[in-house]
Chain A
Amino acid sequence: MSRVTLRGIAKSFGLVQAVKEVSLDIPDHTFVTLLGPSGCGKTTTLNLIAGLEKVTRGEILLDGISITDWAPHERGMAMVFQNYALYPHMNVYENMAFSLKLKKVPKAEIDQRVRQVAKTLEIDQLLDRRVSQLSGGQQQRVALARAMVKEPKVFLFDEPLSNLDAALRTRMRIEIKKLHQQLKTTSIFVTHDQEEAMMLSDFIAVMRDGIVVQYGPAAEIYRRPQHHYVATFIGKPRMGTIDGNLRVDTSSVNFEAKGMKLSWPRGGANMPLMDVPACLGIRAEDVRLLDTNGAASSDTFTGEVGLLEPLGSDTFVEVIRDSMNLTARVEPDRQVHVGDKVAVQLPRNKLHFFESVSGRRIDI
Chain B
Amino acid sequence: MLKINDINVYYGNIHALKGVSLDINQGEIVTLIGANGAGKSTLLKTISGLLKPKTGEIIFENVNVAGKLPQLIVKRGISQVPEGRRVFANMTVEENLELGAYLRKDKKEIREDFDKVYQLFPRLEERRKQLSGTLSGGEQQMLAMGRALMARPRLLLLDEPSMGLAPLLVKTIFRIIEEINKTGTTILLVEQNAHMALSIADRAYVIETGKIVADGSAAELSNSDQIRKAYLGGH
Verify that A and B bind, or say they do not: no
A-side interface residues toward B, CB under 8 Å?
none
